Chain A
Amino acid sequence: EAGVVQSPRYKIIEKKQPVAFWCNPISGHNTLYWYRQNLGQGPELLIRYENEEAVDDSQLPKDRFSAERLKGVDSTLKIQPAELGDSAVYLCASSPVAGSFNEQFFGPGTRLTVL
């Protein structure tokens, strides 16, 4: 079974530039999550999707961050414009069923460096 796929793995941009991250979850997983992991910290949830619907985006900085999950499969997270403080690892995860105690499966992450 293929795991969660993310691209790119690394991205270096200058501040004020836009950037996008892509995630393909495990086949059949309805729930998709985007997390941000700052250096030396645990992941923090940015947004959760149930199929194509964003059901929890309370931690997403909506002035510069946006996300979409068209057709309820893969997802894109965008930052525009990027700021220095956005440097972090962006993790995508998926799980099969919402509202359950199933574990989440994580992708390798995208390491973003904003100069």
Chain B
Amino acid sequence: AQSVAQPEDQVNVAEGNPLTVKCTYSVSGNPYLFWYVQYPNRGLQFLLKYITGDNLVKGSYGFEAEFNKSQTSFHLKKPSALVSDSALYFCAVRPISGGYNKLIFGAGTRLAVHP
């Protein structure tokens, strides 16, 4: 079965420190990979995506993500966290075969950045 795992329910980081939110996936072939962020009472906002090419992808608000094919991971990173980064983060994959524009989401990781 195709799935996405976000092993941490919550990540706590001090402001100014680097942050990592983990994501691993299990799908056939080489999927497209996405990160979305959800603020309270708002819809999901797109952060970044990996389609092909350079394994390090840069996105909105200073976030980046590293694709690792051998580990089937797509971890979200930021060099210096801000309190305003506190939100719910979702990793999603779109299988290239069969899934045809269907996103499979992880359960989400809540990021808490403390002053």
Residues on A facing B (Cβ under 8 Å): 3-4, 9, 31, 40-45, 48, 56, 91, 93, 95, 98-101, 103-109
13 residue pairs from A and B, CB less than 8 Å apart: A4-B43, A42-B106, A42-B107, A45-B102, A48-B102, A56-B102, A91-B44, A93-B44, A98-B101, A103-B49, A104-B103, A108-B41, A108-B43
Smallest beta-carbon distance A35→chain B, Å: 8
Q: A98-B101, A103-B34 are in contact. Are A42 and B43 (CB under 8 A)?
A: no
Q: List, in ascending order, chain A residues with CB within 8 A of B107's CB.
A: 40-42
- The smallest beta-carbon distance between A18 and chain B, in angstroms, is 24
Taking a contact as CB atoms under 8 Å apart, the answer to whether A43 and B46 are in contact is no
Q: Main secondary structure on chain A at its contact with chain B? A: loop
Distance between B77 CB and nearest chain A CB, rounded to angstroms: 19
Q: Which of A4, A93, A101, A109 contacts B51 (CB 8 A)?
A: A101
Instruction: Please state if A91 and B101 are interface contacts (CB–CB under 8 Å).
Output: no
Distance, CA A106 to CA B32, complexed state (A): 18
Are the C-beta atoms of A101 and B49 separated by less than 8 Å? yes
What separation, in Å, do the CA atoms of A107 and B45 have in the docked complex?
9
Is residue B90 contacting chain A, with contact meaning CB distance below 8 A?
yes
Chain A residues whose CB sits within 8 angstroms of the CB of B65 once the complex forms: none
Contacts A98-B101, A103-B46, A106-B44 known; 9 new A-B pairs at CB < 8 A? A4-B43, A42-B4, A42-B108, A91-B43, A91-B44, A93-B44, A103-B49, A107-B43, A109-B43
